[in-house]
Amino acid sequence: MDIAKLFGHQNSVKYKISKKYSVRFYTIAAYAVFRYYEKREYGTWEIGRDSMLGRLSEDELKKLFKFEAGKKEKYKKYQVYGMWENE
């Protein structure tokens, strides 16, 4: 079960990086959560951030980093959680 559905989440934002990639941000309890998505032929799939980074153009990387930095600054009292593959 998705923990966000169980406890409810706030401040939910879906940010489109490109036609193929997006990131979803929300807060839940004391956590700031980033989830990364890739649009494929048969739907949208959650992927690891590291996988996404290797596939983005330089401009797309700048957009992603700017979005992440803005959210981290705004919610700096929260513990950051994301789908990093090397955690």
pLDDT class of 6 with cuts at 50, 70, 90: low
Report the predicted TM-score, pTM, of the whole model to 2 decimal places. 0.82
CA distances from 74 to 7, 25, 35, 70, 81 (A): 22, 12, 17, 6, 15
Higher pLDDT, 65 or 7: 65
Domain that includes residue 32, residue range: 3-82
Residue 7 within a domain: yes
Q: Which residues contact 80 (CB under 8 A, 6 or more apart)?
A: 31, 32, 34, 72
Residue 10 within a domain: yes
Residue 26 within a domain: yes
Take residue 81 and report the two structure tokens written for it: 């959680």
Name the nearest CA neighbour of 36 among 60, 58, 59: 60
Kindly state the helix (H) or strand (E) to which residue 66 belongs, with its residue range.
Answer: helix 58-74
Across 1-17, average pLDDT: 73
Residue 59 within a domain: yes
* Per-residue model confidence (pLDDT) at position 87: 41
Please give the tally of structural domains in the chain.
Answer: 1
Residue 87 within a domain: no
